[in-house]
Chains A and B, each alone.
Chain A
């Protein structure tokens, strides 16, 4: 919402300057977005008087002037034809910035003669395009500030334009009058009340108006009148200036009048060319399929139930949203039908949304204009039409009636203190409401007073349909009193004492996973939850269930089914920037469906390229599946996952089928996957491998048993442990885990640990064979073991492994 200071002053008698007004508006909740104050850039200019003007010795068109200024008599060279003795001019002293020529004036020599300043034209000060000569002022004293002179003599030249943001509840501030009312309630001036005189009709209206019974809920009140014999042409300069100042294009007097009241009183109007409408006007619901070429030169087809205004033959207007092109007024319009109606906000919002129209009228009607100002608005507009275009007014025709709300709410003057925490005297609170137009509901106050309440009940003014409860009254009181006066008050702790931990198990797990991954050398990413369909499809997503209906681009069309695709895209971007070795991770939500509960948290790490940059120690090497596995296990351990999980080979399609594993508690309960990314995916996503990764499902990890903080006793032996190494020759397909488990089972008491320390495939062993070497750590419990006892354990290991895997000791 834009308006000028002078427009505001039509409704507000105030001495406040534009800065004070802007600050107050923001504080009142009418947040100022911009103030354009033309006088800002004219601060340095003062008035001077030309004492003498002589031709420049070396230039025919230049004059050497002696000018009386606030800094004494100055010599100024001037090229303007009107520079002559005796005129009052506007002076820019050296050092003054001239906005129109983007220059700061300096003392200079022009063709050998010194010049100490400049006498300015209107264009040079960006006041107008006038540049035929320098400004000659009809009045003013030497040394007077030019802005002061303008303020006193030509205020419209430096009229500041203020733009405010309107919150959806404050439709009343979409009119300059409403803004003035708020300022007056705060005490920044007094509101100027303008009585509205009804304009008597000179003849019965030849156009009648009806509202269909089934349409009255959407169109409660319609008023209009015919004005005959108008002369439509350009509107007067003051009106054009006002509209231009707020960014509207003047069109013709009749159209400009409707725009004026839209902004002046938040009263949208419509004007029909009465010679182009057909018969009486009927406000009704569309049957469906009717069409109208609207003022925006687009044709709209109506769905059943949409509200339209039709003449005898066809729709003439989309009620409250936009008029029809064919019945619109033109320069040639002679007979005009003026419409002022009240439309139901919800109906307007729905129709406009369905038709995708965004008009000034729709914007205002959907927020709810003042329902009691329909007829007064028509009268005001009639008068202005008569004033600007002449003509003869017909009688008012109307259908329906102004809706009146009977709501009233109790002002509990203690509520401001208990809800907001501001102590405002009861009398001030009541005065505030009354200044805003609230009226005391005496009947209700009396009735409720009998029940022991001492508070007055207030009826909101018709222009404030947003007031719907007691809290709204408190808000008005606090707002006008200014929330800047709010003093902070400590909030008591919910419980006495040291705050207890508040994170849930899963929240702690997310933090632990994040910090663990970072400690393992991964860089945390936050990638978009959106992803393109093709990438989503590679990871089992990309279906309609997770499709965004109105994505901002095709790159962001679906909700991600996993974190890997986003990380792979991030990796591709980094590779394109020349970073080929990457360790990226993300902790976040992925979506396996489009319902709110179909979201789960994942921790995904991605390793690409080598473990480090090429280095002097030769330590860097390609990342492998086992890096991903170790990191997955580290994250799982940090989250409290049980150490004994099984590894299954059946992983999703995005993983290398032979080089990936699933860490699970039983076949269904997956805690994590790790492995090489499938080469087809790397190709599709333009990532240079090798690439391995892991994903952990933190919520799948069983809740820790609530056993308190105790760790249990430490069970260690003082007796020295013995380690024995074994190498088994096995079929290549046998998994190491089977060897380890078998060895472990050989003596559950004495064998403390079994580690794989070597794997060798093929070679002298022959095709299809491999060797796995393990270290078995034997921990005596009660007494030092004899060689024979140790040999017995070793025998058992060989036997168990042999039985379980077919492995034989390597010779």
Chain B
């Protein structure tokens, strides 16, 4: 029996292909195979002989079957390896083309600003871009003859002859949204209003349309010191580094007291770095909302007070992302959109970073 085992295991090991292997299977464990014939002889044996030979034969059959299966798989593997070797493709060829979309920096920064200020309890208010003269000026304590009107380079909308209303304006700032929000929601209120604004000015650093975000917080005891804290928190999260601010006295008709706000920066090598150095960069106007403005919003200034600020979104984007030219924001040059744009999935969040 050992001879038989040796004979077949050697032959199986030497088998070159599946045909040889099949022949060996038939010869060994097929119906008339040598092992099968031996098993048939068991019946003729004495019970004692059978008790010895039976298990041995069964074991031999199992061993041959296992060797056949193993060899079959080995042969298949070899064949597959051969085939795969011939299936070579040039993996350095480009992948299937796929368009890569981008988000404009103005949108990205607007979402960043919203994410930060929403955490401080500000919701987002909106207002029309073609604005009523009253909302854009009078309600903001800028009466008809106020010199600030002349300095704003206002765009006016056409008025038909016979329509004696004051012409509507393209809003010169997002501040009219303050009034609309106060009228709608009353106090206390915390809102920001991002959006397009318009001034009739076009040169190296000005475009007739740009983006601002307005902030307004009205409550019983909000002070300018709170404003400073809110802005320093905002800038620190926005720029990802601790940013100090400097308040300078100024004047806006809609706030009193008013302050221009500078952020700390360095100017080394012709680039601005926010949050370090000894320099200061003017970035926004702010102040405590003027009692007349609170009143125009339908709120009693004797009971309520608060702050407002307004800053340029495009300007913030330029500072944070090192974009040199404002005019290019609105030119839609594909190369610019691709270079300065953001991936669809990089949604700014406070927990994931901005």
CB-defined contacts of A579 to chain B, threshold 8 Å = 334
A556 vs B345: C-alpha distance when bound (angstroms): 34
Tell whether B88 is near chain A: CB-to-CB under 8 Å: no
A137 vs B198: C-alpha distance when bound (angstroms): 58
Tell whether B147 is near chain A: CB-to-CB under 8 Å: yes
CB-defined contacts of A475 to chain B, threshold 8 Å = 249, 256-258
Q: Total interface residues on A, using CB and 8 Å?
A: 104
CB-defined contacts of B332 to chain A, threshold 8 Å = 525-527, 567, 570, 573-574, 584
Interface string of A483-522 (1 = CB under 8 A from B): 1101111110111000101111001000100111111111
Tell whether B101 is near chain A: CB-to-CB under 8 Å: yes
Let me know if A488 and B331 touch, CB within 8 A. no
Stretch from B11-19, B53-61, B74-82, B103-111 that touches the partner = B103-111
Tell whether B305 is near chain A: CB-to-CB under 8 Å: yes
Interface string of A408-442 (1 = CB under 8 A from B): 00000000011111100000000000000000000
Interface of B is mostly: mixed
Stretch from B30-38, B64-72, B148-156, B268-276 that touches the partner = B148-156
Size class of the B contact interface (CB-based, 8 Å): 35 or more
Tell whether B214 is near chain A: CB-to-CB under 8 Å: no
Q: A349-B145, A515-B344, A549-B159 are in contact. Are A502 and B226 (CB under 8 A)?
A: no
A595 vs B114: C-alpha distance when bound (angstroms): 28
CB-defined contacts of A479 to chain B, threshold 8 Å = 249, 257
Let me know if A168 and B151 touch, CB within 8 A. yes
A550 vs B154: C-alpha distance when bound (angstroms): 9
User: Out of A353, A514, A585, A617, which one reaches B150, CB within 8 Å?
Assistant: A353
Tell whether A139 is near chain B: CB-to-CB under 8 Å: no
Let me know if B106 and A523 touch, CB within 8 A. no
Let me know if A521 and B101 touch, CB within 8 A. yes
Residue of A nearest to B148 (CB): A168
Tell whether A746 is near chain B: CB-to-CB under 8 Å: no
Residue of A nearest to B307 (CB): A491
A803 vs B4: C-alpha distance when bound (angstroms): 77
Let me know if B99 and A615 touch, CB within 8 A. no
Please provide the chain B residues from 127 to 186 with a CB less than 8 Å away from any CB of chain A in the complex.
127-132, 135, 144-148, 150-151, 155-160, 167-168, 170
Which of B170, B250, B334, B335 has the largest count of A CB atoms less than 10 A from its CB? B334
Please provide the chain A residues from 13 to 36 with a CB less than 8 Å away from any CB of chain B in the complex.
26-29, 31
What distance in Å separates the Cβ of B7 from its nearest Cβ neighbour in chain A?
50
What distance in Å separates the Cβ of A252 from its nearest Cβ neighbour in chain B?
30
Interface string of A565-581 (1 = CB under 8 A from B): 00100100110010100
Tell whether B267 is near chain A: CB-to-CB under 8 Å: no
What distance in Å separates the Cβ of A282 from its nearest Cβ neighbour in chain B?
25
A168 vs B196: C-alpha distance when bound (angstroms): 25
Let me know if A612 and B334 touch, CB within 8 A. no
A584 vs B159: C-alpha distance when bound (angstroms): 34
Let me know if A544 and B96 touch, CB within 8 A. no
Let me know if A514 and B103 touch, CB within 8 A. yes
CB-defined contacts of B253 to chain A, threshold 8 Å = 168-169
Tell whether B120 is near chain A: CB-to-CB under 8 Å: yes
Please provide the chain A residues from 596 to 638 with a CB less than 8 Å away from any CB of chain B in the complex.
596-599, 611-613, 615-617, 619-620
The contact sample of 19 A-B pairs, CB cut-off 8 A, is A167-B252, A169-B251, A419-B288, A419-B305, A420-B225, A422-B225, A475-B258, A493-B120, A514-B103, A525-B332, A526-B107, A529-B129, A529-B196, A545-B158, A548-B158, A549-B159, A584-B332, A594-B168, A596-B135
Binding site for B on A (CB under 8 A): 26-29, 31, 167-170, 345-346, 349-350, 353, 366-367, 417-422, 469, 471-472, 474-475, 478-479, 482-484, 486-491, 493-495, 499, 501-504, 507, 511, 514-530, 544-552, 556, 559, 567, 570, 573-574, 577, 579, 582-585, 587-589, 591, 594-599, 611-613, 615-617, 619-620
Binding site for A on B (CB under 8 A): 93-94, 96-104, 106-107, 111, 114, 118-124, 126-132, 135, 144-148, 150-151, 155-160, 167-168, 170, 188, 190, 196, 198, 200-202, 208-209, 217, 219, 221-226, 228-230, 232, 246-253, 256-260, 288, 290-291, 305, 329-335, 337-338, 341, 343-345, 347
